[in-house]
Amino acid sequence: MSNFKMAVVVIHGMGSQFSGAQQPSSVLTFSKELRKRVARFVGSDMGEVAWREIVWAHVLQGRQGEYLRRIKRRTGYDDVRSFVVRNLSDAASYRQTPDGTDQTYEDIHAEVDRVMEDVRRQVGNDAPVLLLAHSLGGHIMSNYIYDLQRHEARTGQTMYASPVRNMQTVAGIMTFGCNIPIFLFAYPEDSIKPIDPPNSALPAGLKFRTWWYNFFDKHDVLGYPMRDSAPAYDQLVASQQLRDVSINSGNIFTSWNPFSHNGYWKDPDLYEPVGRMIRNMLRAL
């Protein structure tokens, strides 16, 4: 029987933050340093927390790399082009299409499926979950939860047999460097609907008033506040369900420029709130 009482599930954002073959979700890569810092903050209780990673970069890396190799002799600025292709094309490729050819969208969500099944097996059907999502990962998790909620609203039935797989035991979401707002311009503002609180299967003590914290750095051109993106998000902020938190991520070389986008992972302005949320969740169990 597992000693884990809760799970932290971390998803990366755009870009090649991890390269190589698919690994078990318990093998930490891009979030390894963040977990170390959170563990030091939380202390011995961290042994009750299963920390799992969602890695999806490999879904697109092969085609991106092959394209860069094909054009290398005809173009310059290889490092810059690689950055553009491996970052911006992630965002462009992850979308649903009217003709149903959105295989990238489905393949990335399949990676989320795989990890959430790992969580179910390790922690249980009703385990509370804390989601940590960087950059495009916030958009991915929002869509993933939204699709499950829409399926239940349309059919009257959940997609899976266990609450943890249906994303009904998510006590908290922490996005950082989140770019959800830039994906909303294609829709009329009044038609935009955020996810409902993904905590319907949790006991009252784990239904926190603020269940979504969105951390952003004003120097990070890929990270945005959720407020002012649509009236429905403004309502989440007004009801204190969603809180935008302005921080200064990175170090003396990165905190004042766009490189702050990757500075969140080691910043106490992020890992200390994550640690406090974990403590609050464990106390409520």
In our burial notation (b when 16+ CB lie closer than 10 A, e otherwise), range 147-182 reads: bbbeebeeeeebebebbbbbbbbbbbbbbbbbbbbe
DSSP of 138-183 = HHHHHHHHHHHHHHHHHHSS-SSSSTTTTT--EEEEEEES--GGGG
For the chain, percent of residues with pLDDT exceeding 70:
79
Residue 252 forms part of a structural domain: yes
Q: Would you state the pLDDT for residue 104?
A: 82
Residue 1 forms part of a structural domain: no
Q: Would you state the pLDDT for residue 89?
A: 52
Of 253, 174, 178, the closest CA to residue 217 belongs to: 178
Query: pLDDT category, 96, cuts 50, 70, 90?
Result: low
Alpha-carbon dihedral of residues 169, 143, 193, 14, nearest 10 degrees?
120
**What are the helix and strand counts (H, E) for the chain?**
7, 6
| Higher-confidence position of 22 and 87 | 22
- The whole-angstrom separation of Cα 116 and Cα 103 is 20
CA angle 249, 254, 255 (to 5 degrees): 35
Query: pLDDT category, 41, cuts 50, 70, 90?
Result: very high
Lowest mean pLDDT among 11-15, 47-51, 227-231, 251-255: 251-255
- The whole-angstrom separation of Cα 274 and Cα 171 is 12
Residue 130 forms part of a structural domain: yes
Of 264, 77, 56, 84, the closest CA to residue 178 belongs to: 264
- The whole-angstrom separation of Cα 75 and Cα 243 is 44
Q: How large is the average pLDDT for residues 198-210?
A: 98
Q: Would you state the pLDDT for residue 252?
A: 42
Residue 266 forms part of a structural domain: yes
Residue 16 forms part of a structural domain: yes
Q: What domain range includes position 199?
A: 6-284
| Residue 227 tokens, joined | 């407020």
Residue 22 forms part of a structural domain: yes
Q: How large is the average pLDDT for residues 144-166?
A: 97
CATH number (domain holding residue 157): 3.40.50.1820
Q: How large is the average pLDDT for residues 24-53?
A: 95
Q: What is the mean pLDDT of the chain?
A: 86
Global pTM reads 0.88
Q: How large is the average pLDDT for residues 132-156?
A: 96
Residue 260 forms part of a structural domain: yes
In our burial notation (b when 16+ CB lie closer than 10 A, e otherwise), range 101-121 reads: ebebbeebbebbbebbebbbe
Residue 102 forms part of a structural domain: yes
- The whole-angstrom separation of Cα 147 and Cα 126 is 20
pLDDT above 90 (res 118): yes
Number of structural domains the chain divides into: 1
**Can you name the residues that pair with 134 across neighbouring β-strands?**
176
